[in-house]
């Protein structure tokens, strides 16, 4: 998949832990961890909306399209 | 620390029904075992009892009084006077003789005499043994099906979602375990929609659950 998740980078910038983010976003640590490591197949807009609101960022800060990396 | 996720209400219902199903199926298995042992004991007793020298000649007589006006306005008798009928009941020949005679202007009597062919003790033993063997096969097949059913029920009792690979595997195995029962029923009572339709529906449900499992995997991969 050419879509890469940069959630760990944004979390580090905002100095936010996984537990704290999962509580504020309202999804489990397990699912957030899967999101962070790119082990998900889809993300709901509602989840993306909650993450961007919590981390005060844009969707483009978390999602990156890199076709050369997918080879 | 991981957040605890409360189970969906429908999944909790499935767990509850699975638990009840498991209990009922286990009790049914006990009855199957008792039945199997009882039939086996019956077979042993039947083999041991000395009935080879027994001869049975069944016969019966019955009289039916009837009002001739109720049956036929143009004739005073049912057209059953001096008739003979041959029947075969489970391989044993039975002859019926009918005769009618008038009692008065309104009433007549229909007499029926029945004679069966002589049956020996060996024939009785063979006839009963065949039935008992079929019963044993049916009970054994039913016990196996109940075992697979109980395993399915146990999986449903503990599942977080009914659309899992384990549930589908258990459902498929349960469905396959019903096939011998269907075959035995086919030989004993012929092709019947009472067996074909439930089996078809079960395999349809298995396909539905497989599709559901695919959707479940997609949903599980979505956050």
Instruction: Name the β-bridge partners of A40.
Output: none
For residue A20, the model assigns a pLDDT of 93
Residue B79 confidence class, pLDDT cut points 50, 70, 90: low
Q: Which of helix, strand or coil describes residue B57?
A: coil
With a CB cutoff of 8 Å and minimum separation 6, the contacts of B191 are none
CB-side exposure of B182: number of CA atoms within 13 Å? 17
Residue A65 confidence class, pLDDT cut points 50, 70, 90: very high
Q: What CATH number was assigned to the domain covering residues A3-70?
A: 1.10.260.40
B1 and A CB contact within 8 Å: yes
Distance from CA of B22 to the nearest CA of A (A): 32
Residue B51 confidence class, pLDDT cut points 50, 70, 90: confident
- Residues in A touching B215 (Cβ below 8 Å): none
Q: What is the pLDDT of residues B58-74, one digit of tens each?
A: 899 999 888 877 766 54
Answer positive or negative: Cα dihedral of A13, A17, A20, A22.
Answer: positive
With a CB cutoff of 8 Å and minimum separation 6, the contacts of B161 are B11, B216
The runs of H, that is alpha helices, within chain B are 9-48, 68-71, 121-158, 165-177, 179-189, 193-220
More confident residue, A58 or B191: A58
Does residue B2 carry a pLDDT above 50? no
| Dist. CA A47–CA A62, nearest whole Å | 12
Q: What is the pLDDT of residues B169-191, one digit of tens each?
A: 999 999 999 999 888 888 887 76
Mean pLDDT value of segment A29-51: 92
Which contiguous run of DSSP H or E holds residue A27? none
Phi/psi for B167 (5° steps) reads -60, -40
Mean pLDDT value of segment B204-213: 92
Does the global pTM surpass 0.80? no
Does residue A35 carry a pLDDT above 80? yes
Helices B9-48 + B121-158 axis angle, to 10: 160
Answer positive or negative: Cα dihedral of B131, B134, B138, B144.
Answer: positive
Quick one: B178 exposed, middle or buried, by C-beta within 10 A (0-12, 13-18, 19+)? Answer: buried
Strand ranges (DSSP E) for chain A?
A: 3-5, 63-65
Domain boundaries in chain A?
Answer: 3-70
Which contiguous run of DSSP H or E holds residue A2? none
Q: What is the CA radius of gyration of chain B?
A: 29
More confident residue, B190 or B202: B202
Q: What is the mean pLDDT of chain A?
A: 90
The count of residues in chain B is 223
Query: Quick one: how far is CA B85 from the chain centroid?
Result: 31
A43 and B CB contact within 8 Å: yes
CA angle B171–B175–B181, rounded 5-degree value: 150
Which contiguous run of DSSP H or E holds residue B64? strand B59-67
Which among B174, B120, B116 is positioned nearest to B145, based on CA atoms? B174
B221 and A CB contact within 8 Å: yes
For residue A18, the model assigns a pLDDT of 93
Residue recorded with tokens 């936010």: A16
For residue B5, the model assigns a pLDDT of 58
For residue B4, the model assigns a pLDDT of 47
Residue A71 confidence class, pLDDT cut points 50, 70, 90: very low
Smallest Cβ–Cβ distance between B221 and the set A19, A32, A40 belongs to A40
Does residue B14 carry a pLDDT above 70? yes
Q: What is the mean pLDDT of chain B?
A: 87
Q: Exposed e or buried b for every residue in B189-202, given b needs 16+ CB within 10 A?
A: eeeeeebeeeeeee
| Dist. CA B13–CA A52, nearest whole Å | 37
**Which range is least confidently modeled, A55-64, B83-92, B132-141?**
B83-92
- Residues in A touching B1 (Cβ below 8 Å): 19, 29
B48 and A CB contact within 8 Å: no
Residue B147 confidence class, pLDDT cut points 50, 70, 90: very high
């Amino acid at each position: 998949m050419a879509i890469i998740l940069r959630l760990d980078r944004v979390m580090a910038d905002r100095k936010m832990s996984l537990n704290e983010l999962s509580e504020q976003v309202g999804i489990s640590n397990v699912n957030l961890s899967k999101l962070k490591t790119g082990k998900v197949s889809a993300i709901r807009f509602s989840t993306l909306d909650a993450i961007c609101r919590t981390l005060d960022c844009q969707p483009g800060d978390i999602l990156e399209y890199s076709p050369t990396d997918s080879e | 620390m991981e957040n605890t996720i409360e189970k969906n209400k429908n999944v909790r219902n499935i767990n509850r029904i699975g638990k009840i199903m498991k209990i009922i199926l286990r009790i049914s298995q006990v009855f199957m075992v008792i039945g199997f042992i009882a039939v086996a004991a019956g077979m042993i007793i039947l083999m041991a009892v000395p009935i080879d020298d027994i001869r049975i000649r069944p016969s019966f007589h019955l009289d039916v009084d009837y009002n001739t006006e109720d049956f036929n306005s143009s004739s005073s008798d049912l057209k059953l006077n001096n008739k003979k009928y041959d029947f075969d009941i489970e391989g044993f020949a039975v002859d019926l003789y009918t005769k009618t005679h008038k009692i008065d202007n309104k009433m007549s009597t229909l007499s029926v005499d029945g004679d069966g062919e002589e049956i020996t003790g060996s024939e009785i033993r063979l006839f009963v043994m065949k039935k008992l063997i079929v019963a044993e096969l049916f009970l054994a097949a039913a016990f196996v099906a109940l075992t697979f059913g109980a395993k399915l029920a146990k999986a449903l009792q503990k599942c977080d979602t009914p659309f899992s690979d384990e549930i589908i595997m258990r459902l498929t195995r349960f469905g396959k375990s019903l096939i011998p029962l269907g075959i035995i029923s086919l030989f004993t009572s012929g092709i019947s929609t009472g067996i074909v339709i439930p089996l078809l529906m079960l395999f349809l449900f298995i396909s539905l659950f497989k599709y559901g499992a695919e959707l479940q995997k997609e949903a599980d991969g979505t956050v």
